[in-house]
Amino acid sequence: MLLIAASLALLFLVALGVSRRFRTSVARHQLGVAVALLGVAGMIVFALVIGDYFSVDACLDDGGRWNKDREICEYREPSSVS
């Protein structure tokens, strides 16, 4: 998701620099472009936050303990009963 958003942003910047027609279109529709860019930025932030959520959820589902400081999943070593 992050790679797709970055690719779209790069494509937008290249088109903005190369095409005069694209620049005039962007100048005419500044509000729409601003809303689209904010939407892409929002999707990137959402993907980062939801990705962390799923990492923690998967850790807890597998019986682990999430270490918030180190941002890793810790599993308890099975105790050996003699």
The parent domain of residue 17 ranges over 2-74
Which position has the higher pLDDT, 71 or 32? 71
Residue appearing with tokens 């050996």:
80
In this structure, is residue 18 part of a structural domain?
yes
> How many structural domains is the chain composed of?
1
CA atoms of 77 and 39, how far apart (whole Å): 44
Please calculate the CA angle 19-29-16 and round it to the nearest 5 degrees. 20
3-state secondary structure of 80: coil
In a domain, residue 17? The reply is yes
Whether the pTM exceeds 0.85: the reply is: no
- How far apart, in whole angstroms, are the C-alpha atoms of residue 73 and residue 64? 6
- Residue 20: HSE in the Cβ half-sphere, 13 Å Cα cutoff: 0
pLDDT tens digit sequence for 6-61: 777 777 777 767 777 777 877 788 887 788 888 888 888 888 778 888 889 999 99
